[in-house]
Amino acid sequence: MRALLAEGLGTALLLIGVVGSGIMGQALSGGNTGLALLANAIATGCILYVIITVLGRISGAHFNPVVTLFFAMRRELEWPKVAPYIGVQILGGILGVWLTHFMFELPILQTSTTARTGMAQWGSEVFATFGLLFVIYGGLKARAEAVPTLVALYITGAYWFTSSTSFANPAVAIARGLSDTFAGIDPAHVAMFIVAQIVGLGIALIVLPFLIDE
């Protein structure tokens, strides 16, 4: 139960960081989308560092169904834990979005109208997800204590060097579909993002053990 609470809380905090900083960045940037994205990226990296550092010892700090599936398929997480982990990650993400709307005095229940679709963005999500797993798995093998920093740096950078702004997380994609704000995604486009993320997971399962394991 402690692990499930940690996964739910961590994912909620992640979405608060993503959506809240998007709202604030857009409000204060004077219409400068690049400045809003910079604020969004930095805040997301900051919250990732915090939640991975604080909650990693309790649940492994997945906050992402793809990460959970990766470690289950590597036999480093028991399969009975997979469905509960993924369930609380999705629920935590949605609750985080709703809490963010409350804090910014926005309608709690809404759906995004931001189009994010097409081969370029789907390919970007494949790459972004593979890259995230590369950072996590490689970091654990090379220097485990550096993983919070590595993930935070990767996602902060990937906001800028991927066309999709690096969701790399099905729970995040689902939750962001429920926010018609700067960080949102049209719910009709969420499914293909998740498909692309699963493809990235499949590539990582093949490539990373060959590349990194001794």
pLDDT string in tens for the chain (214-residue length): 999 999 999 999 999 999 999 999 999 999 999 999 999 999 999 999 999 999 999 999 999 999 999 999 999 999 999 999 999 999 999 999 999 999 999 999 999 999 999 999 999 999 999 999 999 999 999 999 999 999 999 999 999 999 999 999 999 999 999 999 999 999 999 999 999 999 999 999 999 999 999 7
Print the domain residue range for 101. Answer: 2-212
CATH code at position 171? 1.20.1080.10
Per the structure, the count of domains in the chain is 1
Rounded to an integer, what distance in angstroms lies between the CA atom of residue 211 and that of residue 46? 29
Summarised one tens digit per residue, pLDDT across range 89-112 is 999 999 999 999 999 999 999 999
pTM of this prediction?
Answer: 0.97
Q: With contact defined as beta carbons under 8 Å apart, do 92 and 8 qualify? A: yes
Neighbours of 104 (CB within 10 A): 13
Q: With contact defined as beta carbons under 8 Å apart, do 120 and 163 qualify? A: yes
Rounded to an integer, what distance in angstroms lies between the CA atom of residue 214 and that of residue 212? 6
Residue 144, burial from CB neighbour count under 10 angstroms (0-12, 13-18, 19+) = exposed
